[in-house]
Amino acid sequence: MRFISKVQSLLAFPRNKFQKCQQALSSTMSQKSLDISGIYPPLSTPYNKDESIAFDKLEHNLQKWNQIPFKGYVVQGSNAEWCFQSWEERVQVVREVAKLAAPGKLILAGSGCESTRETIRMGKEMAEAGAHALLVVNPFYFKDGMTSDALVAHFTAVADQSFVPIVIYNVPRNTGMNIPVDAIVRMAQHPNIIGIKDSGGDITRIASIVFATSSFDFQVLAGSAGFLLAAYNVGCVGGICALANVIGEEVCKLADLAQSGDSKAARDLQLRLVGPNSCVTSRFGVPGLKTAMEWFGYYGGPTRSPLQPLSDTNIQAMKAEFQKSQFL
């Protein structure tokens, strides 16, 4: 039935997209083998002063990021301010990053929407735009209705209709809820759901997910550089880390050290990353991330309204954290 459903979706797809999607369909049975291990920056979206997307600045940033040993890029994750973008903008940014990324870089595109129908449709557009996999945040507006059964039904429908693999995105700080572990274990058995990014920071929970899904060829990614070493120690295969936008080489170095057996060097670097990481995530958010990017030669630029720029006081506090950790 899943095969028939995919074929029906293809027949309804624009004719000029049929060949590419047909090729993706033929590889459906092997999509579990897509290796997503490694480090990914969840790219920020550069805006001009008028809040239009600055695609020239995106190219500038990618020229620098392409020199860092990232496994790939997450496009339209939380740091992209995707919730402030139109449908067309979300897809267009994926298309541009796919064009500008260095050869071999994986593109994970944030395609989550509140409804199952729109998530499926967005995923098809992003796959056509060049995404190798989709990062799908759970619906959360009607939290009380998002039971394990509802979430499993949602992600199953999305995965059944997707031409590329699905990575679940758990980000309780933004959604106000954790995807239940029992639901994750059920979804991990789907042939087209290959992993999860967990940004909650509860290492016990992450360890339980790794253990419970170990027989399903399911890959777990840490959602922050602040607990990256601990995540590797319990079996995660990589991380999607906001701090990698700013000091990507150091985040990649920590990943290497975590797998090298040099526990002291790994621990020392992890401790240095904690303060700066909190500045560009929970403490100052996207405005903090964009401010820090400017210090390291990237274009950060303004946020989109209603997000506001950092105050001078917060900028100085953030700079002090980077200096204390010897990154400035």
What is the predicted pLDDT for the residue at 261? 86
**Preceding peptide of 165 cis, ω within 30°:** no
Among residues 219, 201, 198, the alpha carbon closest in space to that of 37 is found at: 219
Please give the Cα distance from 201 to 244 (Å, whole number).
17
Exposure string of 290-320, with b = 16+ CB inside 10 Å and e = fewer, is bbbbebeebbbbbbeeeeeebeeebbeebee
- Residue 40's nearest CA partner among 180, 169, 162, 222 is 222
DSSP three-state, residue 40: strand
Indicate the burial class of 33 (C-beta count within 10 angstroms; 0-12, 13-18, 19 or more): exposed
* Closest to 241 measured CA to CA, from 230, 233, 232, 252: 252
* pLDDT digits (tens), the chain, 328 positions: 443 444 344 334 443 443 444 444 434 434 678 999 999 999 999 999 999 999 999 999 999 999 999 999 999 999 999 999 999 999 999 999 999 999 999 999 999 999 999 999 999 999 999 999 999 999 999 999 999 999 999 999 999 999 999 999 999 999 999 999 999 999 999 999 999 999 999 999 999 999 999 999 999 999 999 999 999 999 999 999 999 999 999 999 999 999 998 999 999 999 999 999 999 999 999 999 999 999 999 999 999 999 999 999 999 999 999 999 999 9
Element housing 197 (H / E): strand 193-198
Residue of 28, 31, 22 whose CA lies nearest to 2: 28
Q: What is the pLDDT of residue 31?
A: 64
Which strands make up the sheet holding 193-198, listed edge to edge? 38-40, 238-240, 219-222, 193-198, 166-170, 133-137, 106-110, 72-75
Q: Which domains, and CATH codes, for the chain? A: 2-260 (3.20.20.70)
DSSP state of 303: P
- d(CA 13, CA 127) in angstroms, rounded, equals 12
Does 240 show up as a binding residue in the annotation? yes
Structure-block tokens of residue 131: 């995404």
Active site residue ranges: 169, 197
Cα 242 from Cα 285, distance rounded (Å): 10
